[in-house]
């Protein structure tokens, strides 16, 4: 075994930069995520969202649901989370989120997947070397029904910092 | 069996919300390991700025772990939930969410809300309320704001059920 020198290793990088995005480009994001009742309890309690619709099975069933409802904010966070490696991990800060709709409830055991389309991009006037990119992201359940969609905008670093 | 209406408050039915009402919610929350790093990883957010203490050292965002914006939004909304959505039937949507300043582990969030609109729903036992929420840190800096629409039970149909 040779001595360890970090310079001997190739750094693996992930994510995309401003030049990598083209309007209309689609990403089918990795992994998917089955949401459990445990995920929901952790998320709902840690965010101080102690609603019985998310944490009391009998209460949720009284309202016509077969089980606890998964907190829609967990659904949104997970769908956006699944998109991060492709869209924003390498890029820069999260600026905003618009037009988010929760289309149908998600229940424990449902599996989410995420996909996105590039909606717009432009270079930043105030931040040389950066641009803003807007994506439309949607999350679907295991029956391919859309459960949530939204538009997200981030500041994204350019590969070539020419200015 | 306990009636559903016994499990939730009686002052958060649709009839109780008036456009222009502004409230500061009673509890603030500090974002730390659980809310910041744990939840970012729970929701598959692979950006290490949220869970690597040393990644942002010297960055304009400030050193230390920065909290995922949608977690800041979720905690702000969670802090409002007993006062806004305890008698909600569903979350409908979010719009105009803006992340105004970075949030780090150790910051504390206080939530403020204004009722922006109230309108009938397609079903007659509920109405739609739209709020504007603000999340403010311990230095009174607005770190997050945005609009949220929910479907809320009408007292006329749901009180006592």
Domain of B60, CATH number, reads 3.10.129.10
pLDDT at position B74, please?
98
Q: Which residue has the tokens 């424990």?
A: A108
On whether residue B2 sits in a domain, the answer given is no
> With an 8 Å Cβ cutoff, is A104 touching chain B?
no
Residue B66 falls within a domain, yes or no?
A: yes
- Count other Cβ atoms within 10 Å, centred on residue A93: 16
Residue B62, domain member (yes or no) = yes
Low-confidence ranges of chain B (pLDDT < 70): 1
Q: CA of A42: which chain B residue's CA is closest?
A: B39
Q: pLDDT above 70 covers what percent of chain A?
A: 98
pLDDT at A97 over 90: yes
* Among A75-79, A125-129, B114-118, the least confident range: A125-129
The pLDDT of residue A156 is above 70: yes
The number of angstroms, rounded, from the C-alpha of A145 to the middle of its chain's C-alpha atoms is 17
For A101, the closest of B1, B8, B93 (CB atoms) is B93
The sign of the torsion formed by the CA atoms of A73, A75, A80, A84 equals positive
Report the alpha-carbon distance of residue A19 to residue B39 in Å, rounded. 30
Residue B102 lies in a domain: yes
* Residue B63: inside a domain: yes
For residue A148, pLDDT over 90 is answered with: yes
Q: Which two tokens stand for residue A160?
A: 């070539």
Query: How many domains in chain B?
Result: 1
Query: Count of A–B CB contacts within 8 Å?
Result: 126
- Beta carbons within 8 Å of B74's beta carbon, 6+ residues apart: A43, A47, A49, A73, A74, A77, B39
Contact assignment for B92 to A105 by CB distance below 8 Å: no
For domain A19-35+71-157, give the CATH number.
3.10.129.10
Find the domain containing B56 and state its range: 12-158
Retrieve residue B69's tokens: 């914006």
User: Residue A163: what pLDDT?
Assistant: 41
Query: Contact B113/B22 with Cβ under 8 angstroms?
Result: yes
Task: Give the Cα separation of B8 and A151 in Å (integer).
Answer: 33
Query: Per-residue confidence at A69, pLDDT binned at 50, 70, 90?
Result: very high
User: Which helix (H) or strand (E) element contains residue A38?
Assistant: helix A37-46
pLDDT for the residue A161? 55
Domain layout of chain A by residue ranges:
19-35+71-157
Cα–Cα distances in Å, from A39 out to A14, A26, A159, B41, B99? 26, 28, 37, 11, 25
Closest by Cα among A153, A118, A97 to A20: A118
C-alpha span between A60 and A108 (Å, rounded): 12
What pLDDT does residue A162 have?
46
Q: For position A135, what pLDDT does the model report? A: 98
- From the list B42, B75, B91, which residue is nearest A72 (CB)? B91
Is residue B7 in a domain? Answer: no
Q: By three-state DSSP, how is residue B74 classified?
A: helix
Q: Do B88 and A53 touch (CB under 8 A)?
A: yes
Q: How far is CA A38 from the centre of its chain?
A: 20
Q: Tell me the pLDDT of chain A averaged across its residues.
A: 95
């Amino acid at each position: 075994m040779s001595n360890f020198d970090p310079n001997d290793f190739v750094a693996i990088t992930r994510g995309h930069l401003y030049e990598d995005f083209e309007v209309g480009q689609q990403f089918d994001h990795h992994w998917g995520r089955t949401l459990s009742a445990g995920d929901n309890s952790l998320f709902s309690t840690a965010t101080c969202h102690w609603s019985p619709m998310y944490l009391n099975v009998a209460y949720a069933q009284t309202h016509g649901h077969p089980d606890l409802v998964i907190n829609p904010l967990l659904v949104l966070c997970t769908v956006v989370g699944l998109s991060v490696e492709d869209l924003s991990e390498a890029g820069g800060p999260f600026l905003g989120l618009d037009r988010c709709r929760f289309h149908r409830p998600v229940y424990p055991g449902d599996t989410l997947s995420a996909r996105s389309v590039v909606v717009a991009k432009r270079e930043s006037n105030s931040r040389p070397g950066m641009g803003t990119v807007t994506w439309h992201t949607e999350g679907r359940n295991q029956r391919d029904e859309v459960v949530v969609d939204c538009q997200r905008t981030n500041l994204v670093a350019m590969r070539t910092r020419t200015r | 069996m306990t009636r559903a209406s016994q499990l939730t408050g009686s002052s958060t039915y649709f009839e109780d919300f008036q456009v222009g009402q502004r409230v500061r919610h009673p509890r603030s929350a500090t974002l730390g390991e659980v809310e910041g790093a744990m939840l970012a990883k729970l929701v598959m957010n692979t950006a290490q700025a949220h869970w690597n203490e040393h990644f942002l050292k010297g960055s304009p965002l400030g050193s230390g772990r920065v909290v995922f914006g949608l977690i800041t939004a979720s905690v702000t909304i969670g802090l409002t939930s007993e006062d806004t959505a305890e008698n909600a039937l569903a979350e409908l949507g979010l719009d105009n969410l803006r992340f105004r300043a970075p949030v780090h582990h150790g910051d504390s969030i206080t939530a403020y809300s204004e009722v922006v609109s109230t309108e009938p729903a397609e079903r007659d036992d509920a109405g739609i309320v739209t709020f504007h929420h603000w999340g403010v840190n311990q230095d009174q800096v607005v770190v997050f704001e945005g609009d949220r629409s929910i479907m809320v039970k009408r007292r006329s149909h749901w009180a006592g059920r």
